[in-house]
């Protein structure tokens, strides 16, 4: 078939169909053809990191449904890594109430931990074969976004590690429950101002991002919805943090660290 190139005017006006391209079918019926090398490689590029030739060939002949089931794994299995970083339960004081020298020392330690967390996670991605858990964790970390550094502050890497574990747990679960856990996640509370919520002046940042970016999208909520959601979250977040963390006091040093961070930041 002779190809017809797309010119710049067609491209910019949205006419992106090339005569040599395959058109989509008229239905959403499942793709029922056995995977060949091309379709196997296509699927693995979407659901894994840099698939090898051996991985591509292992899916040739399987149906798309069989392949996706293998790649996604058991939704009830969290697949939490057996060897987490050694510092995840290391406790430090809140540096933002300390003197400048103590603050700089703690922040330097956190930067080292964060670099180690990045290396640890990348290694998980590189070693992963089946199921493709970290690919989904990476996707959700881009949807429910937080950062190690924001403004002039840091989110403790111990909290970011637990956030990744939360993404791993909910990667294929109920989205409503997922959003609820994100709302109470320590990293998200810090990053989008949930810790700044007060009964006299609710912080609307997370409420707005929740609707605009994470769930409904622009055009499906009002300013009134944002204000009321912020008021509701102010109460739920503070009470839920206290109740959840107090229930876990006897679990591990990691939970004690988490509780200390939360209480000190919330000035409770």
Q: Where do runs of H (alpha helix) occur along the chain?
A: 8-12, 37-47, 53-58, 64-72, 100-127, 133-143, 157-170, 175-183, 186-191, 205-209, 223-247, 253-266
> Could you tell me the sign of the dihedral formed by the alpha carbons of 197, 268, 114, 110, in that order?
positive
pLDDT tens for residues 78-113? 999 999 999 999 888 888 888 999 999 999 999 999
pTM: 0.79
Is 221's pLDDT higher than 80?
A: yes
Is 156's pLDDT higher than 60?
A: yes
């Amino acid at each position: 078939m002779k190809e017809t190139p797309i010119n710049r005017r067609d491209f910019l006006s949205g006419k992106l169909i090339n005569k040599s391209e395959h058109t989509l079918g008229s239905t959403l019926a499942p793709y029922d053809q056995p995977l060949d090398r091309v379709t196997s490689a296509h699927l693995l590029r979407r659901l894994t990191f840099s698939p090898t030739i051996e991985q591509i060939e292992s899916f040739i002949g399987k149906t798309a449904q069989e392949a996706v089931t293998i790649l996604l794994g058991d939704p009830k299995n969290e697949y939490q890594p057996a060897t987490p970083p050694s510092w995840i339960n290391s406790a430090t004081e809140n540096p933002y109430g300390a003197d400048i020298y103590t603050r700089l020392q703690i922040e330097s330690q956190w930067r080292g931990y964060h670099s180690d967390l990045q290396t640890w996670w990348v290694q998980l991605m590189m070693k992963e074969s089946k199921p493709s858990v970290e690919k989904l964790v990476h996707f959700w970390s881009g949807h429910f976004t937080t950062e190690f550094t924001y403004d002039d502050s840091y989110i403790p890497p111990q909290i970011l590690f637990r956030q990744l574990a939360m993404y791993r747990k909910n990667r294929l679960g109920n989205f409503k429950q997922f959003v609820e856990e994100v709302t109470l996640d320590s990293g998200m509370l810090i990053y989008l101002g949930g810790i700044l919520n007060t009964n006299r002046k609710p912080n609307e940042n997370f409420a707005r991002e929740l609707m605009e970016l994470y769930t409904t999208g622009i055009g499906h909520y009002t300013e009134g919805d944002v204000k009321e959601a912020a008021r509701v979250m102010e109460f739920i977040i503070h009470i839920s943090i206290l109740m959840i963390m107090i229930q876990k006091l006897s679990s591990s040093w990691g939970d004690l660290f988490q509780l200390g961070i939360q209480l000190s930041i919330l000035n409770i």
